């Protein structure tokens, strides 16, 4: 029986662990024990003061108050502290020759316009014309027909449609791949942008001496029967912030050039930038 009286700054940990592991699944017990041990060790290592404990409680309270149906400040906190990309790395160890994953982000919309290949998805977003030409393949290079490809990105000022006045979609769409696994969509070239920084996470970045920016990118989510869902981006080569992404999401293999296609040239008639999205899915 563990003593529950006169607990001191060392003995309190075993006492709490013995209580939090009384119920739940084996995994829940493992998690509860680890959380208590790490939290207690953190307090001991830092010799946490009462003022610092109060600050932490207030910070978490403000983070909670910032959350709404359209704002998830806790995920943003996880993103800015590298936890989202750490969990991503643990869960997608990138076996074989498949496309690497990166952070999901808060700007995905489940009911994005369903479009056919060739559509213009820029909507009301302004920017330089961009053709996104893609092919979805399996690990061996065989085309994946009928894959559901969601694409979303910011405008030339770094805003997603959901951040602009008015409700119409822009810079997002859902398209199916054809029998060769291909699709192409017209849109505009996105710019780098700051993550939402008007809340506690923004204040934290300020205190830490960090900027809130992400490099220019296009988000992809690809789903197909028999394959693992892929959540990733393609980053635009040469963009600012590729080496200081505030959410630590950049991978070399995901940085792609955008090529200017002269008017009158190429199979499309040119007059636009071209981003090639060649994606390989991992098996389910």
- Interface residues with ligand BEZ (CB under 6 A) are 76, 79, 103, 105-107, 195, 214, 247
Q: Which does 79 bind (CB under 5 to 8 A by kind): Fe ion, ligand BEZ, none?
A: ligand BEZ
150, 220 Cβ separation under 8 angstroms? yes
Instruction: Closer to ligand BEZ by CB, 137 or 172: give it.
Output: 172
Q: Which does 197 bind (CB under 5 to 8 A by kind): ligand BEZ, Fe ion, none?
A: none
- What's the per-residue H, E or C state across 116-185? CCCCECCCCCCCCEEEEEEEEECCCCCECCCCEEEEEECCCCCCCHHHCCCCCCCCEEEEECCCCCEEEE
Instruction: Closer to ligand BEZ by CB, 105 or 200: give it.
Output: 105
How far apart are CB 158 and ligand BEZ at their closest, in Å?
11
Instruction: Closer to ligand BEZ by CB, 29 or 210: give it.
Output: 210
105 binds Fe ion (CB under 5 A): yes
Q: Which does 106 bind (CB under 5 to 8 A by kind): Fe ion, ligand BEZ, none?
A: ligand BEZ
- The 10 Å Cβ neighbour count of residue 68 is 8
Question: Which run of H or of E encompasses 87?
Answer: helix 83-91
Instruction: Closer to ligand BEZ by CB, 144 or 222: give it.
Output: 222
**Which two structure tokens, joined as six digits, stand for 142?**
């065989």
How far apart are CB 164 and Fe ion at their closest, in Å?
15
Contact segment (CB under 5 A) with Fe ion among 52-60, 68-76, 104-112, 139-147 equals 104-112
In whole angstroms, give the CA distance from residue 99 to residue 256.
13
- For residue 153, give the DSSP letter: E
How far apart are CB 76 and ligand BEZ at their closest, in Å?
6
192 binds Fe ion (CB under 5 A): no
In whole angstroms, give the CA distance from residue 111 to residue 150.
10
Nearest C-alpha neighbor of 284 from the set 135, 179, 139: 139
Instruction: Closer to Fe ion by CB, 107 or 183: give it.
Output: 107
Give the footprint of Fe ion on this chain (CB under 5 A): 105
């Amino acid at each position: 029986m563990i003593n529950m009286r006169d607990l001191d700054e060392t003995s309190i940990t075993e006492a709490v662990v013995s209580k939090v592991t009384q119920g739940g699944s084996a995994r829940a017990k493992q998690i509860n024990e680890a959380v208590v041990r790490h939290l207690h060790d953190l307090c001991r290592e830092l010799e946490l003061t009462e003022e610092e404990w109060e600050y932490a409680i207030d910070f978490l309270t403000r983070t909670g108050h910032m959350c709404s149906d359209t704002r998830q400040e806790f995920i943003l906190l996880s993103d800015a502290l590298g936890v989202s990309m750490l969990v991503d790395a643990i869960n997608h160890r990138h076996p074989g020759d498949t496309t690497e994953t990166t952070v999901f982000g808060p700007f995905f919309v489940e009911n994005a316009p369903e479009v056919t290949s060739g559509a213009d998805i820029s909507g009301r977003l302004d920017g330089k014309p961009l053709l996104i030409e893609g092919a979805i393949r399996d690990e061996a290079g065989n085309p994946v027909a009928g894959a559901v490809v969601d694409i979303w990105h910011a405008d030339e000022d770094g805003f997603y449609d959901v951040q602009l006045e008015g409700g119409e979609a822009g810079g997002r769409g859902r398209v199916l791949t054809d029998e060769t696994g291909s699709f192409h969509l017209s849109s505009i070239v996105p710019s780098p942008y700051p993550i939402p920084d008007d809340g506690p996470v923004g204040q934290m970045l300020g205190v830490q001496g960090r900027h809130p920016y992400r490099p220019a990118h296009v988000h992809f989510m690809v789903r197909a029967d028999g394959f693992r869902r892929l959540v990733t981006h393609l980053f635009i080569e040469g963009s600012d912030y590729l080496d200081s992404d505030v959410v630590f999401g950049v991978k070399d293999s995901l940085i792609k050039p955008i090529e200017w296609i002269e008017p009158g040239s190429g199979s499309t008639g040119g007059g636009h930038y071209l981003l090639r999205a060649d994606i390989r899915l991992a098996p389910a």
